[in-house]
Amino acid sequence: MTSWVGRTAAEIAAAVREKRVTPREVVAEHLARIELLDARVGAFRHVRASAALVEADEVGSRADLADLPLAGVPVAVKDNLAVRGESTRNGSAASPDTAAAEDHETVARLRAAGAVVVGLTNVPELCVFGTTEGVYGTARNPWDTTRTAGGSSGGSAAAVAAAMVPLALGNDGMGSLRIPAANCGLIGLKPGHGVIPAGIGHGDWFGMSENGPLATTVEDARLMFSVLAATDAVRAAEPAPPSVLSVAVSVRSPLVGVAVTRPYVTAAREAAGLLAGEGHRVRRADPPYPVWLGTTSLAHWTAGTAVDAEGLDPRRLAPRTRVHTGLGRRFVDSVRTGVRRQQLRERLTPFFEEHDVLLTPALARRGPAAAEWHKRGWLRNVLVNTNYSPLTPPWNLTGWPAMVVPFGVLPSGGPGAVQLVGRPGSEGVLLALAEQLEVLRPWTRTAPLGGAG
DSSP, collapsed to helix, strand or coil, labels residue 366 as coil
Q: Which of 343, 336, 348 is nearest to 400 (CA)?
A: 348
DSSP, collapsed to helix, strand or coil, labels residue 231 as coil
Q: Which of 228, 190, 186 is nearest to 208 (CA)?
A: 190
Residue 122's alpha-carbon distances to 139, 218, 396, in angstroms, are: 7, 24, 22
DSSP letter at 229 equals T
Cα–Cα distance measured from residue 37 to residue 41, given in angstroms and rounded to the nearest whole number: 6
Any alpha helices (H) in 185-228, and if so which ranges?
204-207, 218-228
Assess contact for 159 and 121: CB atoms under 8 A: yes
Amino acid in position 129: F
Amino acid in position 223: L
Residue 78 annotated to the active site: yes
CA 276 from centroid of its chain's CA atoms:
27
Residue 389 annotated to the active site: no
Q: Which of 218, 245, 224 is nearest to 407 (CA)?
A: 218
Query: Which one from 78, 92, 389, 426 is the annotated catalytic residue?
Result: 78
Query: Which one from 92, 95, 152, 153 is the annotated catalytic residue?
Result: 152
Residues 445, 176, 72, 159, Cα dihedral to 10°: 50
Assess contact for 128 and 398: CB atoms under 8 A: no
Cα–Cα distance measured from residue 410 to residue 432, given in angstroms and rounded to the nearest whole number: 25
Residue 176 annotated to the active site: yes
Query: Which one from 95, 176, 389, 426 is the annotated catalytic residue?
Result: 176
Determine whether 64 is exposed, middle or buried from the number of CB atoms within 10 Å of its CB (0-12, 13-18, 19+). exposed
Any alpha helices (H) in 151-203, and if so which ranges?
154-161, 178-184
Assess contact for 288 and 252: CB atoms under 8 A: no
Assess contact for 176 and 152: CB atoms under 8 A: yes
Catalytic residues: 78, 152, 176
